[in-house]
């Protein structure tokens, strides 16, 4: 099955946590890292998140930097990435920030367990792809994004549950990790792949493409050790 190149972007504490045990909003990195997040986001034909991240981080999934948008257009991409949301339950509040902005299509992958009234409301704001299975198949989502939406580069900003599924499918081609100078602690605080006790079906090695230090933060860029589908992403 064909799929886009998948880039995962996360900020992590010194003890490997991406959130607190209470799953509080992200916001523990510097303004520089927040701009770097936009730079990485701007590389994707589409940007994908899970429902909790969308909700907890109040994401509009936009690109509030005109220069980055201009560079996309120059590269032949749309001004803004397509916004992709994953949710089995379909419990998406219409007051979420994402629905207040119309700058790019919103594509939701969910299941028919989404209540009918919610389906009607959401169809006014987004394209709904509802599976009749109990769970959304991320493998099929990736293939659908590739085939139907012509997505060749997909940036995923989490959260950890969604990242875990991508890793289980061995579909993480690149990783951008910001290591932030802070400790959270707590066994229930999620790491990159959540707080689940289960192992991946098999390990995947990555090789370090670049490392940059700014202030007390470290920016890491890793590539999968298999042959890349496309040229590795470059950031300034």
Contact set with ligand NAP (CB under 6 A):
10-11, 18-19, 23-26, 49-53, 56-57, 86-89, 91, 135-136, 138, 157-162, 165, 190, 194
Minimum Å gap between C-beta 122 and ligand NAP is: 13
Instruction: Tell me the closest approach of the beta carbon of residue 27 to ligand NAP, in angstroms.
Output: 8
Q: How far is the CB of 195 from ligand NAP (least distance, A)?
A: 8
Place of tokens 């523990």: 28
Judged by beta carbon, residue 17 or residue 72, the one nearer ligand NAP is 17
Q: Which is nearer to ligand NAP, 41 or 72 (CB)?
A: 41
* Other beta carbons within 10 Å of 97: 15
Q: Which is nearer to ligand NAP, 38 or 71 (CB)?
A: 38
Q: What's the sign of the alpha-carbon dihedral 48, 50, 54, 57?
A: negative
Joined tokens for residue 140: 């099929």
> Least Å distance between CB 11 and ligand NAP?
4
Task: Check: CB of residue 192 under 8 Å from CB of residue 12.
Answer: yes
E-strand stretches of the chain: 5-12, 46-50, 82-86, 106-111, 127-131, 153-156, 174-179, 206-214, 217-224
Q: Which is nearer to ligand NAP, 44 or 190 (CB)?
A: 190
| Nearest to ligand NAP of 79, 91 (CB atom) | 91
Smallest distance from ligand NAP to CB 24, Å: 6
Least Å distance, CB 158 to ligand NAP, is 3
Q: Which is closer to ligand NAP, CB of 120 or CB of 196?
A: 196
> Side-chain half-sphere of 69: how many Cα atoms within 13 Å?
10
**Using CA atoms, how far apart are residues 135 and 112, in angstroms rounded to an integer?**
10
Q: How far is the CB of 22 from ligand NAP (least distance, A)?
A: 8
Instruction: State the alpha helices, DSSP H only, in the chain.
Output: 31-41, 51-56, 66-74, 116-123, 138-147, 160-168
Burial class from Cβ neighbours inside 10 Å (0-12, 13-18, 19+) for residue 235 reads middle
Q: What is the C-alpha to C-alpha distance for residues 28 and 11, in angstroms, rounded to an integer? A: 8
Let me know: does 67 contact 90? Beta carbons within 8 Å: no
Closer by beta carbon to ligand NAP, 63 or else 175: 175
Integer-rounded Cα radius of gyration of the chain: 17
């Amino acid at each position: 099955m064909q799929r886009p190149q998948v880039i995962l972007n996360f900020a992590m504490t010194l003890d490997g946590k991406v959130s607190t045990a209470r799953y509080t909003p992200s916001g523990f990195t510097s303004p520089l890292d927040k701009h770097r997040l936009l730079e990485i986001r701007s590389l994707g034909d589409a940007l994908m998140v899970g429902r909790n991240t969308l909700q907890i981080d109040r994401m509009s999934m936009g690109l509030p930097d005109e220069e980055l948008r201009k560079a996309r257009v120059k590269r032949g991409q749309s001004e803004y990435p397509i916004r992709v949301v994953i949710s089995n339950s379909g419990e998406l509040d219409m007051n979420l920030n994402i629905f207040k902005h119309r700058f790019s299509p919103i594509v939701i992958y969910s299941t028919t367990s989404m209540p009918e009234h919610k389906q009607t409301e959401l169809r006014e704001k987004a394209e709904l792809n509802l599976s009749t299975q109990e769970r959304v198949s991320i493998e099929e989502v990736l293939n659908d994004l590739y085939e139907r939406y012509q997505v060749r580069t997909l940036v995923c900003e989490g959260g950890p549950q969604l990242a875990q599924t991508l890793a289980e499918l061995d579909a993480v081609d690149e990783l951008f990790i910001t290591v932030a100078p802070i400790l959270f602690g707590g066994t229930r605080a999620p790491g990159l792949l959540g707080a689940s006790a289960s192992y991946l079906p098999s390990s995947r090695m990555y090789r370090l493409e670049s490392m940059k230090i700014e202030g007390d933060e470290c920016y890491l860029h890793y590539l999968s050790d298999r042959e890349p589908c496309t040229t590795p992403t470059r950031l300034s």
